[in-house]
Each structure stands twice: as structure tokens, then as C-alpha cells.
Amino acid sequence: MAAILASLNIFEEAGMDALRQKSEKLTGYVEFLIHEIGSDDFKIITPKKPKERGCQLSIQVKNADKSLHKQLRAHSVITDWREPDVIRCAPVPLYTSFEDVFRMVSILKELV
């Protein structure tokens, strides 16, 4: 129970409103960076409205398979894979930085 209490204290200190605001900014930044790539290889299939998408984006990657997910992991990028061709990324606002997001999208672009 001590670990749970410590975790709850961290969330209380950060504040859920602030975490949600950062979450929307992080996923918005991922969305911006994906669009900046300017390639038909990437399509964000998560709802466009931040209030409808939670803290994750699902990115459909043309001609991708699960090896892309494995390559990202080899670069220390943690994502989730959904068949047949979707990478889900969830930048966690409590500890993910905007630099982390930039790095993730840069690596994704490089691998594709």
C-alpha cells in the first residue's frame, strides 16, 4: 500500500488538470510532427479532437509490419502494435518530455 500511496501523492502534487493539459499538448505535438513529415506513409487514425482521443495516438504506417515496432523498441522507443499496420504511442504526461516526443517521431521517420 505504501507504493500506491506514494504514487497517488505524486499525482496529487502534479494535479490532474495540469497532467491532462500536458497530455493534450504532447499528443498535439506528435500530430504536428507527423504532419510535418509530409508523407503519405503516415496516417493518424485517432480522433482529431483532443477530448476524444485520450493520451495516445494511433498511427497507421503504410506497408509496415510488426518489425517496425521491434525496431522502435531496439531504439528504446516504447510503443504498442496493432495489426495490421498501426503503431500506438502514448506520451505519458507525468514523465514524457517534448524532447522525448521529437526523438520518437524522428526515429519513426528514419525507420520508415
Write out pLDDT tens, residues 56-112: 999 999 999 999 999 999 999 999 999 999 999 999 999 999 999 999 999 999 998
Cα–Cα nearest to 22, from 94, 74, 75: 94
Q: Tell me the domains of the chain and their CATH numbers.
A: 15-111 (3.90.1150.10)
Write out pLDDT tens, residues 23-53: 999 999 999 999 999 999 999 999 999 888 8
What is the distance of C-alpha 71 from the center of its chain? 16
Query: What are 89's strand-pairing partners?
Result: 57
**Dist. CA 85–CA 62, nearest whole Å:** 7
